[in-house]
Amino acid sequence: MRVLVTGGAGYIGSHAVRAALDAGHAVTVLDDLSTGHREAVDPRARFVEGSLHDPAAVDAALEGCGAVMHFAAFSIVSESCREPLKYWRNNVGGSIALLEGMRRAGVLRLVFSSTAATYGLAATIPIVETTPQQPINPYGWTKLAVESLIRDHADAEAGFAFAILRYFNVAGCAWGLGEAHHPETHLVPILLQAALGQRASVSIFGTDYDTPDGTCIRDYVHVRDLVDAHVTVLGRLADGERRVYNVGSGRGWSVREVVDAARRVSGVDFEVGVGPRREGDPPALVTDPTRIRSELAWASRHSGLDQILADHWAWMREHPRGYVTEAG
């Protein structure tokens, strides 16, 4: 089957392209390269440069496709708090345009990249799929809105099948692919930038949370495990079926524990300071992955903290400027 991967030049999307190709699918990538990298797109994939807001680009990308994995979205929580309209226009508006294109093309299968941010301040940890969804930032609200949009579309489109994957913190690198954002906002690459000497220091945002060491706790999943979950569920979707899964390791690590692991893996004792809390950060997000384990036989095989950090560190040492070449 040919699969369209939206955002396939981005960090997670490019890994999903590789996983889909390795599983025997043909792949088309649609990406406007606003945050993605053309160099990250597997040469075996067909590439369409364009925006979800451009119907001609969407129609061209969907040609011959039988399914879509939808990753294209803005995802920086703090930015969403400062610029909510940007996030609603891109994340929700882009998803509407994609579903309209899928309807025109008769494509009836979708795997949607959602987020644990839809749960907000969960009353109980670990989080299960039926935990009430009450986001506390615009990013989370846009993802929850798209989930509702997909359900409404499925109600109106006979045979439409979808899977919604809500995942937690993603890190690690595989297959020669990596994470390269400008500016970088994710904890693991920021810590490793400090280990590389690209940052004078890093800050822990908030040390007064109601957690054992006062810092936020997150469930980290290796990007290789995450994209395996996407490809696995895609292969299991039957006509009209609806699936929702949390994807994570089922184990939470605090910011301080991740800092310690980055120092341990890199062998560099970089400087760490303390800053105020960031707007929109819940104290803890940890999943219970029982449903996806039991229904798909999926497991987080690469998601030990040290392995995640080691794989990320190896890529960053080889690509200290990300996908930028010395000539570029």
For residues 282 and 120, what is the distance between their CA atoms, to the nearest angstrom?
A: 6
CB 166 within 8 A of CB 247: yes
DSSP secondary structure letters along 115-163: EGGGG-S-SSSSB-TTS----SSHHHHHHHHHHHHHHHHHHHSTT-EEE
What count of Cα atoms within 13 Å lies in the side-chain half-sphere of residue 149? 20
CB 245 within 8 A of CB 164: yes
Q: Where are the beta strands (DSSP E) in the chain?
A: 2-6, 26-31, 46-49, 67-70, 109-115, 161-167, 169-171, 202-205, 217-222, 242-247, 252-254, 272-275, 284-285
Q: What's the token pair of residue 135?
A: 């986001």
Q: Is 11 a catalytic residue?
A: no
For residues 29 and 62, what is the distance between their CA atoms, to the nearest angstrom?
A: 9
CB 77 within 8 A of CB 139: yes
Q: What's the token pair of residue 288?
A: 């219970």
Using the CB atoms, write b or e for 62-71: b if 16+ within 10 Å. Answer: beebbbbbbb
**Annotated catalytic residue: which of 139, 167, 209, 245?**
139
For residues 127 and 131, what is the distance between their CA atoms, to the nearest angstrom?
A: 6
Active-site residue list: 139
